[in-house]
Amino acid sequence: MKEVSAGGVVFRRVGGDIQVQMIQDRYGKITLPKGKMEPGETVEQTALREILEETGIQGTILKPLEMITYQFNLTGVGVVDKEVHYYLVEATGGTLQAQIEEIRGVEWLHPLDAWHQQTNSGYGNNDSVLQKALIALGYEVN
């Protein structure tokens, strides 16, 4: 079985500063907003819808960042091939609000703080996604 999801690295400009959005998932891990594609949607539409649903933020896609793939076992289904498309998304509106059914929390962070949280408490396969986003925003991390 194949499952396609999409999401993004969401950022906003506050004065002369940039802030990056990070979420804490239901397992307590730091991650990026993402979710499953619904019938009739493009991956871009999925990314923007999931970001809005999970975090309350509307955004505009600036560019694709990366597609990651992995497998997991789903009870009653077996092995699922997962494909996740990530985009660099600039926040354009909305109010920051965690979707408590899906995630524990969401916050805006300085880009280097977001990187620190990702590398210490996040999923390893998101490291390169966030790194590409931060480089695009003018921050060098490794």
Residue extents of the structural domains in the chain: 2-136
Distance CA 110, CA 18 (A): 7
Residue 1, CB half-sphere, CA atoms under 13 Å: how many? 10
Stretch 19-30: mean pLDDT: 95
> Looking at residue 56, what DSSP letter applies?
S
Distance CA 70, CA 97 (A): 29
Residue pair 33/86 in contact (Cβ under 8 Å)? The answer is no
pTM: 0.93
Could you report the per-residue pLDDT of 90-139, keeping only the tens digit for each? 999 999 999 888 889 999 999 999 999 999 999 999 999 999 999 999 99
Q: Which CATH number fits domain 2-136: 3.90.70.10, 3.30.1300.10, 3.40.50.300, 3.90.79.10?
A: 3.90.79.10
Average per-residue pLDDT for the chain: 95
Between strands 2-14 and 78-94, the pairing is: parallel
Lowest pLDDT segment from 7-11, 19-23, 55-59, 94-98? 94-98
Question: Measuring CA to CA, which residue among 93, 89, 92 is closest to residue 32?
Answer: 89
Residue pair 66/132 in contact (Cβ under 8 Å)? The answer is yes
pLDDT reported for residue 52 = 97
